[in-house]
């Protein structure tokens, strides 16, 4: 779960980081709000778009498990991990 949250956060922040790099390349100060104020809405929409596309891709392209799930149980005093049959 933590990996999914961090991955979503990185994808959301990606447009902001790229815009900051663009400002540095153009020799502008990326810490001034005046450079960000006009672009903040579009950067937010782009970040949310990246997150939504990644969630859709994961949901549509992820490997599906078929069969019946057998939960973790004990057999003959030994723990057998959960698995699909």
- pLDDT tens by residue, 24-78: 998 888 888 888 888 899 999 999 999 999 999 988 998 887 889 999 999 999 9
List, in sequence order, the alpha helices (H) in the chain.
Answer: 2-25, 33-36, 40-61
Report the candidate in 28, 33, 30, 29 with the shortest Cα–Cα distance to residue 20.
30
Within a 13 Å sphere around the CA of 40, how many CA atoms are in the beta-carbon half? 7
pLDDT given at position 28 = 83
pLDDT in tens, 17-34: 999 999 999 888 888 888
* Structural contact between residues 36 and 16, judged by C-beta atoms closer than 8 angstroms: no
């Amino acid at each position: 779960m933590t990996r999914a949250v961090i991955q979503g956060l990185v994808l959301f922040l990606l447009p902001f980081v790229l815009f900051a790099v663009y400002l540095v390349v153009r020799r502008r100060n990326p810490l001034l709000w005046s450079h960000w104020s006009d672009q903040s809405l579009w950067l937010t929409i782009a970040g949310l778009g990246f997150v939504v596309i990644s969630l859709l891709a994961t949901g549509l392209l992820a490997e599906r498990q078929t069969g019946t799930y057998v939960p973790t149980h004990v057999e003959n005093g030994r723990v057998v991990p959960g698995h699909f049959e």
